Chains A and B, each alone.
Chain A
Amino acid sequence: MPVAHMASIVPISKSVGANRIIPTVAIPHPLGNPALPREEEVAVRRQLVEKALMALSADVSDQTVF
């Protein structure tokens, strides 16, 4: 089954061999941004998860950063 790797340090994701890579916000809060108001933070998270779903729907032939 396809796996979307959501991580902040893309080079690590690449070196460990992830095929579908979604760069995220920051190490302690990959899917959120505490500096933003709650609603905006959720919107950011939703955008990132949406990107992950796109990556999971896409056919890739090699390691790909979305």
Chain B
Amino acid sequence: MAYRIIHYINQFFGGVGGEDKADHPPELRAGAAGPGLALKQAWGDQAEIAATVVCGDNYCVGHPEEVAGFIGQALDKYQAQALVAGPAFNAGRYGLACGLAASAAAARGRVSLTAMFPENPGVEIYKANTFILPTADSARGMGQAVPAMAAFAIKLLNGRRLGSAAEEGYIERGVRLNTFHDEIGAERAVNMLMKKIKGQYFLTEYKMPAFDRVRPRPGVKDMSRATIALVTSGGIVPKGNPDHIPASSARSYGAYSLEGVDDLTGEDFQTAHGGYDQTFANEDPDRVLPVDVLRCMEREGRIGRLFPTYFATVGNGTAVAHAAQWGGEIGQKLREAEVQAVILTST
């Protein structure tokens, strides 16, 4: 008998609308829709999409418990064995929504699976809860993603012993699973030691974690004398985007002057960020980069001074390696300028 599966997609892939419909509450449609049609074809008679949940990305991220409950009801109503979400590619909020939906199904004991670009923020947050297959960064990767998702879902549903992430192709969840090896631990230890002695390749059974954490710096003692700098990943740039920072997958950041700027206006500044509805930031860029309030505080003596340069990039599918490098460079510049503290805003 075919497995019954619930498919989760967002307002865009569900044909409801774009960013303007991101607040669309969850709706349940019988059968397949959007990319589900391709999944359906890939499954043939192995599995059927019993129903599709269509939900706006903002609604899902803003109402996680309600959406999780909705998904639970959908799974029960259709007696579905699994939930497949996405693929979300590199859409940040869609990635979060897919992760949330798949996690909700996993928490209810169902097989669950989603797919997205490896650097989608949904990966880091939800990979421990569910299986995530890697995809390309845009919907151009649909043709590759769908057959992979279809095949892996069947593998999970068949319940065979699962290989490692490297063997199976999913994004490593960081979850430890017990297993029985052919040899006892002591024999494995001596074998590993012999390889290490001889300089041969060996595979540790537990990789010691390296923590990417920074020790918190002490607080600022006297704020009324402190120089505060602004940094943002929200893409606020001078009008016309002089450095051509792309709307997603940024490859650079910009340093821009606030000399003589008392209030950011839509006439002089804009957002270059392509990952959220730009209307509000373009109307008043202070909604992302609070220059107006900080200038006010500067006049009142609440802070010593607002550093006359701010740094901006677009945090939308930006590679972590890039972001880490820029963070180091910006930090270095601010330290040389004897800035005491930083306010970093993100969208």
Listed in ascending order, the chain A residues whose CB lies under 8 Å from chain B are: 1-9, 11-13, 15-20, 24, 27-32, 34, 41-42, 45-46, 48-49, 52-53, 56-64
With A13-B346, A61-B216: A31-B341 Cβ-Cβ less than 8 Å: no
B residues contacting the other copy or chain, number (CB 8 A): 52
| Cβ < 8 Å to A, chain B residues 213-270 | 213-214, 216-221, 223, 226, 228, 234
Residues of B contacting A: mostly: mixed
Chain B residues with CB under 8 Å of A53's CB are: 223, 228, 297, 302-303
Report if B65 contacts A (CB, 8 A).
no
Residues of B within 8 A of A (CB): 58, 61, 93, 96, 121, 124-125, 212-214, 216-221, 223, 226, 228, 234, 276-281, 283-284, 286-290, 292-294, 296-297, 302-303, 331, 334-335, 339-347
Task: Considering the complex, give the chain A residue whose CB is closest to the CB of B93.
Answer: A27
Interchain CA distance A29-B280 in the complex, whole Å = 6
- Of A1, A6, A18, A30, the contact of B334 (CB 8 Å cutoff): A1
- Among B213, B214, B219, B289, max chain A CB count under 10 A is at B219
Instruction: Give min CB distance, B58 to chain A, whole Å.
Output: 7
Given the known interface contacts A4-B343, A17-B214, A53-B302, the answer about A48 and B290 at a Cβ–Cβ threshold of 8 Å is yes
Residue of A12, A49, A62 near B290 (CB, 8 A) is A49
- Are A57 and B290 within 8 A (Cβ)? no
Q: How many angstroms between the C-alpha atoms of A27 and B235 in the bound complex?
A: 12
CB of A54 to closest CB in B, whole Å: 9
- Contact A4–B223 (Cβ < 8 Å): no
A29: B residues at CB distance < 8 A: 280-281, 287-288
* Nearest residue, chain B, Cβ from A14: B125
Question: Chain A residues with Cβ under 8 A from B228's Cβ?
Answer: 53, 56
Q: Looking at the complex, which one of B61, B293, B347 makes contact with A46 (CB distance below 8 Å)?
A: B293
